[in-house]
Amino acid sequence: MEESLSYLEEQFGLPELNLRQYSPLTLAYIGDAIYDLIIRTMIVRQGNTQVNKLHRHASSLVKAEKQSEMIGVLEREFTEEEIHVYKRGRNAKSYTTAKNASISDYRRATGFEAVMGYLYLKGDYTRMIDLIKMGLAPEEE
């Protein structure tokens, strides 16, 4: 996957990346997308089934309430750097809210997504996947 990001940068002439310059909401924006893609990939790879069933399962894992719950597990596993990114994302002033989530769940989910975006753009896919697995682990038991 890291190779893919390098290829993307090369082919589109993307500028050097300085993660410290990105707003936490920008990190959360891409983090939301990459987390959704990872969840969809996991679900599709578990077996071919009806699309509406795939969608329901994915939706249950990507909603703000679930991401907030995952933070309860992950916060103690975060590095100092990840804690910093998480808190910036959680505390960012967003002008939108989730339809079906409390404000606290939405803010914690935004922090989670900021960490996912940060790790993705940093190219640390192994860490990103390990954190997702840890966060989902209680559900898998």
Q: Which residues are catalytic?
A: 32
Count of Cβ atoms closer than 10 Å to residue 64 Cβ: 23
**Distance (Å) of CA 25 to CA 12, 16, 132, 138:** 23, 20, 19, 28
**Distance (Å) of CA 123 to CA 32, 48, 54, 57:** 16, 30, 28, 27
